[in-house]
Structure 1
Amino acid sequence: MIVKGNVISAIGPAIPTPNGARIVEGKGATLMPGMIDVHVHLTFSALTEPQLLAPDLTPQSAEAAAAVQAKAMLLRGFTAVRDMGGPAFGLKAGIDAGKYQGPRIWPSGAVISQTSGHGDFRLPNERSRRFFGKPARAEELGATFIADGRDEVLTATRENLRFGASQIKLMAGGGSSSEYDPLDVTQYLPEEISAAVAAAEDWGTYVAVHAYTPRAVRRALEAGVKSIEHGQLLDEATIQLIGTRGAWLSLQNLPPPLPSDPPERLANKMKVREGSDHAWAWAKKHRVKLAWGTDFLFRPEENSEQNTYILKLKQWFTPAEILKIVTHDNAQLLALSGERSPYKGKLGVVEVGALADLILVDGDPIADIDLIGNPDRNFRAIMKNGVFYREPASARRVP
């Protein structure tokens, strides 16, 4: 195979080697596409909750912390990610300009939430912007837009698109890790969700929603939402409906709760974890468009486990199916951004004309999927956009 510039230009056993080419020996190794995580929060996963709430946190210090984690993510073999909410525009620009090392980022920008919704990150002493005129600190940091009514949702959506969002993230239901919105609640009225969908579609892209319950997901699907994030509390009929509508189910295997979690948060997290088994199995049964992500939050030490969370899929999928999900299938979801995609070219495959985002694995991950769980040991080389970020141990140049 030959990489020219940032694309794969030729594949085959008898390709003439261009003068000056760098030759990497791949004997005993497997070449695969770079992996993709379609549900990350690069800033929220780089900092703990106390750090995010600290009064001295600035956009610059948050970006610096996220940049450290972004580089580590790339060196685990994740060459592209979809950031599903939070201040990521500056980090993305820094990576694209070469200031930082990290994966390609499809940013959502600030999450859009109703008052009392899953993205209402106000502290107890912070009052409503609408009634008291002052934005919440989380809004000022680019973490969230608290938007109520059709007009505010339209404005928040368009603000994110103005800054370069590749898709829009809307909070359509309660959460397991939040203080003020119960897990079972449905958020946003149909006309509010429809407003975000219309504004996103006018820009050639789509809306993804945070939602767990059948009621929240069905409302989102009726409004034209294209990606359901989470969904672990769905019944089989609703998962089948996602497939019928041609939408995506972006699922995760969430980390275990902390013993220090408050009792209600602990109970909610256990409900979500217990629902995962049904959600993955039903989605496979009904051939729903499935995507995989991690959704780590507030516990930076967990980020190093990103690869091992892929291996949790072994209870539902074969190694070949797992590799397809975290490369080709996830790339198809990224492509749903259309002209709002920040990077032009094909990802998730090794074929002529595709972008050169590649991993050289020491061994055969289809025979032993556990190889991808230890990237430091088993990834001989990692390339993004035609550039090595993990150098192969041995290479030579053609004169």
Structure 2
Amino acid sequence: MCVACWDTEAARLAGIDPCHCGAPHTLRAYARIDADLRRREFLGGAGAVVGMFAGFGLAPRMARAQTPGRPLLLSNLRFFDGRETIMQEGRDILIEGDRITALPARGQGPEDAERIDCGGRVVIPGLIDAHWHSTLVGVSQVVALTQDVGFLHLMAGREAGATLMRGFTTVRDVGGPAFGLKLAVDRGAVAGPRIFPSGAMISQTSGHGDFRLRSDLPRFPDTPPTHIERQGVAQIADGADMVLRATREQLMKGASQIKIMAGGGVASLYDPLDAIQFTEAEMRAAVQAASDWGTYVCAHVYTPGGIRRAVAAGVRSIEHGQLADDETVRIMAGEGVWWSIQPFLADEDANPYSDPAQRAKQLEVAEGTVRAFDLARTHGVPLAFGTDILFNPDGAASQGRQLAKFARFMSPLEALRTATGAAGELLAMSGPRAPYDGRLGVIAEGALADLLVVDADPEAGLDWLDDPEGRLRLIMKGGRIHKDAL
């Protein structure tokens, strides 16, 4: 009915028909439009819709839930529990709802349970990437700095589904506007991993998160935020008061932890790698605000001076740190600080940089990577696996292969622990700000049922991580099966 129909009684009394909804010419037009729409739908409308969503990785995935009222039992398996660096057997894994509720002796599970025979394969906890950029991994740096934020989010949705299919059921997002993506994943609108979001990376002027060009300087008090700030990728803050405000804003948005830039970086053009960024007072402001909300601060930093300042200010997780020296790592160990480290080796999987200055910084970091792993082992610093694949759409697929590289520096099961139980301990430092209630990265009673059935022997090596399509036979997140190729 059209707008003019609202007073049809008055119109009839006046002998007037103000509405043409039922007129012959109108009905003929409706018929033509309807026929055209049906033809379009038949020829390609539905296909176009499916193609659009599938192209962005947002097409609904079949996630098989348990039969209501019946527990699920994984049987005929060996398993790595994410904590002990040994393979275990002789037990099944009982799942009710989104939890692991028991590890009964083989064959002793409840009779009414729905059973999945794993065929003697290995079960491991869902993998955790402790240094991921959900909205920045699937686009180039130019796109991230210039394109519409809606496009970024669609690309992020596509990559979220691919991340889950690589076996990564949880990521700690350490910079970028991931709050909307997290909400969509949690509500089941988009397939993807659990996300622990940091929100915008907090950077000083001229810091690693300041992506302005030199032609954009100077910045005045009335200068509007940059495109990158408006999108929520980074936030520039100078002085303790501004850092305090920036931290509180990310907490208000839902950050589970805070990310600050405490030193120079590779991706940024204008800050030297050896630069120490933020004063200790500025860092302490972020730490205080986060602590007041029951969570912690992690810091991007490579060099000894920056790491020491961050640790002194109360930062609980060092991101990267490949240029640390022996004394600095000893201090980290003494303070119980986590080391979220990546296998930066300047190899075929490195983030691509064409600028000579960026490339030189990348090579410097790569030279320190092997020594960093040695120092961590010497001093017993807890390690958590991360990739930091950034502005590298083609490189995202190397996520599992990056974890396999850890086995160059430790045993395969030790490497696997950095992306399961150890990473879960790091994420647990978010305390009440943790967005998910339950232990992650372990196979244990009460833990969230994030599980992978692997067609390989993790004790012998981790090269199978580079073939998730063929080697991951079952992917479960929160008790729901997202892939079943058993």
Which TM-score bucket, shorter chain as reference?
A: over 0.9
In structure 1, C-alpha distance between the alignment counterparts of 2:352 and 2:161, rounded to whole Å: 30
In structure 1, C-alpha distance between the alignment counterparts of 2:252 and 2:111, rounded to whole Å: 43
**Distance of aligned partners of 1:258 and 1:223 in 2 relative to their CA distance in 1, 3 Å threshold:** closer
Q: Is the 8 A contact 1:129 1:136 kept in 2?
A: no
Moved more, 244-253 or 364-373: 364-373
- 1:262 and 2:355 equivalent? yes
Counting only pairs closer than 5 Å after superposition, residues 102-121 of structure 1 correspond to structure 2 as 102-121=192-211
Q: Is the 8 A contact 1:116 1:181 kept in 2?
A: yes
- 1:151 and 2:244 equivalent? no
Identical aligned residues as a percent:
45
Q: Secondary structure at the match of 1:105?
A: strand
In structure 2, C-alpha distance between the alignment counterparts of 1:259 and 1:330, rounded to whole Å: 27
Deviations 1:98-155 (A, max 9, x none): 1111000000000000000000112344345543421111110111110000110000
Residue 180 (structure 1) shift? 1.1
**Distance of aligned partners of 1:333 and 1:258 in 2 relative to their CA distance in 1, 3 Å threshold:** closer
Q: Secondary structure at the match of 2:420?
A: helix
Q: Secondary structure at the match of 1:131?
A: coil
RMSD: 1.5
In structure 1, C-alpha distance between the alignment counterparts of 2:135 and 2:412, rounded to whole Å: 31
- 1:349 and 2:439 equivalent? no
Q: Match for 1:347: what amino acid?
A: L
Q: Is the 8 A contact 1:371 1:378 kept in 2?
A: yes
In structure 2, C-alpha distance between the alignment counterparts of 1:293 and 1:329, rounded to whole Å: 12
**Distance of aligned partners of 1:186 and 1:59 in 2 relative to their CA distance in 1, 3 Å threshold:** same
- 1:190 and 2:280 equivalent? yes
In structure 1, C-alpha distance between the alignment counterparts of 2:469 and 2:456, rounded to whole Å: 14
Q: Structure 2: state its 5+ residue gaps.
A: 1-92
Q: Is the 8 A contact 2:351 2:392 kept in 1?
A: no
Q: Match for 2:235: what amino acid?
A: F
**Distance of aligned partners of 1:58 and 1:183 in 2 relative to their CA distance in 1, 3 Å threshold:** same
Counting only pairs closer than 5 Å after superposition, residues 152-171 of structure 1 correspond to structure 2 as 152-171=242-261
Residue 44 (structure 1) shift? 1.2
Residue 371 (structure 1) shift? 2.3
Q: Match for 1:170: what amino acid?
A: I
Q: Match for 2:375: what amino acid?
A: W
Determine the structure 2 residue equivalent to 1:178: 268
Q: Secondary structure at the match of 1:99?
A: coil
Residue 177 (structure 1) shift? 1.8
Determine the structure 1 residue equivalent to 2:139: 47
Moved more, 384-393 or 134-143: 384-393
Q: Match for 2:123: what amino acid?
A: L
- 1:213 and 2:303 equivalent? yes
Deviations 1:229-253 (A, max 9, x none): 0000111111111011111111001
Residue 60 (structure 1) shift? 2.0
Moved more, 119-128 or 310-319: 119-128
**Distance of aligned partners of 1:258 and 1:90 in 2 relative to their CA distance in 1, 3 Å threshold:** closer
Q: 1:372 aligns with which of 456, 465, 474?
A: 465
- 1:83 and 2:83 equivalent? no
Q: Secondary structure at the match of 1:322?
A: helix
- 1:296 and 2:386 equivalent? no
Determine the structure 2 residue equivalent to 1:396: none
**Distance of aligned partners of 1:58 and 1:390 in 2 relative to their CA distance in 1, 3 Å threshold:** same
Residue 366 (structure 1) shift? 1.1
Determine the structure 2 residue equivalent to 1:225: 315
Greater Cα radius of gyration, structure 1 or 2:
2
Deviations 1:4-30 (A, max 9, x none): 1000112121334353x4321112200
Q: Is the 8 A contact 2:269 2:357 kept in 1?
A: no
Q: TM-score, normalised by structure 2?
A: 0.78
Counting only pairs closer than 5 Å after superposition, residues 244-393 of structure 1 correspond to structure 2 as 244-254=334-344, 256=347, 261-393=354-486
Q: Which has the higher contact order (CA 8 A, sep 6+)?
A: 1
Q: Is the 8 A contact 2:407 2:461 kept in 1?
A: no
- 1:38 and 2:140 equivalent? no
Q: Secondary structure at the match of 2:172?
A: strand
- Name the count of aligned residue pairs: 390
Deviations 1:343-384 (A, max 9, x none): 010111111111100000113211332223321111110000
In structure 2, C-alpha distance between the alignment counterparts of 1:80 and 1:258, rounded to whole Å: 22
Q: Secondary structure at the match of 1:353?
A: coil
**Distance of aligned partners of 1:260 and 1:122 in 2 relative to their CA distance in 1, 3 Å threshold:** closer
Q: Secondary structure at the match of 1:288?
A: coil
Q: Structure 1: state its 5+ residue gaps.
A: 394-399
In structure 2, C-alpha distance between the alignment counterparts of 1:42 and 1:375, rounded to whole Å: 19
**Distance of aligned partners of 1:224 and 1:371 in 2 relative to their CA distance in 1, 3 Å threshold:** same
Q: Match for 1:72: what amino acid?
A: A
Determine the structure 1 residue equivalent to 2:120: 28
**Distance of aligned partners of 1:260 and 1:268 in 2 relative to their CA distance in 1, 3 Å threshold:** closer
Determine the structure 1 residue equivalent to 2:55: none
**Distance of aligned partners of 1:210 and 1:258 in 2 relative to their CA distance in 1, 3 Å threshold:** closer
Q: Match for 1:184: what amino acid?
A: D
In structure 1, C-alpha distance between the alignment counterparts of 2:135 and 2:413, rounded to whole Å: 31
Q: Is the 8 A contact 1:365 1:372 kept in 2?
A: no
